[in-house]
Amino acid sequence: MSEDRNDNDRPLSVAERFAELARLTPARIALGRSGASLPTRELLRFGLAHAQARDAVHEPFRPAEIAAEISALGLTSMMVESAARSREDYLRRPDLGRSLSPESRALLEAARGDYDLAVIIADGLSSTAIHQNAIPLVAALLPLLQRQGLELAPIAIAAQARVALGDEIGQHLGARMVLMLIGERPGLSSPDSLGAYLTFAPRPGLTDAARNCISNIRPGGLAFQPAAVKLAWLIEQALRRGLTGVELKDESERAIEGRMTEQGDGTLGLAKPRPSKPRLSN
């Protein structure tokens, strides 16, 4: 195997090899050392990342701002909450985050209809992820759902929510399928990671085996537009086949290649959609 070399055709040192590797990933590798410990700069960086992860979990959720941004997209929304009455309850009692409050059940029943899809925006374990990434993803996804001609329920903005809360929300709304956009557990390099969970025929008691998940949606991970195309493909296939979860494999790469075009500035943009009559509820 030939040696890696620098621009001067000199074999790379061990430190240079690690530096090259470190440039390819946000993972903490090749940090160096000072005696038997980390260098001070790396210790400070670790402390900052840990603080950012904690802040993401405890950042107050701002559902009114989310509702205003949804309205600007031409959609209606409704605010619901889980049975967890505080952030402390939510963190200590995961089961409370999986069931609705009585008031929210009544609100959802009043909005019940014949919907193809219910989109839920939930704080989860990172309100930071929602505040930064949920609306850009919805904006990228909306034209693709319009092309499919889907009937959308009012978007539910859910506080103190776990993933499974979407099952009960979808059942009360009468939706054939739910898309839960939720803040994922913060990592030390990604406090703003957004997860998207799709569940067909939602109802309480389902396990994660019944869901499809796309994770790490954020500018530093999976970008909004490719994520939207993946979600649109999965939604279309789930409604066609009547299932989600382990039996529905993500084979959307061909769809992404077909629906994304290279723009003159080097960025990826959606190809012009086929004309169709949207049936979105306002």
The binding site for adenosylcob(III)alamin comprises 163, 184, 213
Question: What are the angstrom distances between the C-alpha of 199 and each of 26, 106, 122, 239?
Answer: 31, 22, 15, 10
Question: Is the CB of residue 53 less than 8 Å from the CB of residue 64?
Answer: no
**Start-to-end C-alpha separation, the chain:** 62
Strand ranges of the sheet holding 115-122, from the earlier edge strand across to the other edge: 77-81, 155-159, 115-122, 175-183, 194-200, 211-217
Torsion 187-85-76-73 (CA) sign:
negative
Question: Is the CB of residue 63 less than 8 Å from the CB of residue 120?
Answer: no
Two tokens, residue 261:
């075009």
Token look-up 């709304």 returns 173
Question: Is the CB of residue 82 less than 8 Å from the CB of residue 90?
Answer: yes
Residue list, annotated binding site: 163, 184, 213
d(CA 149, CA 141): 13
- How does 22-48 read in b/e, with b if 16+ C-beta sit within 10 Å? eeeeeeeebeeeeeeebeeebeeeeee
Question: What are the angstrom distances between the C-alpha of 239 and each of 25, 91, 121, 143, 201?
Answer: 37, 34, 21, 18, 10
Bridge partners (DSSP) of residue 214 are: 196
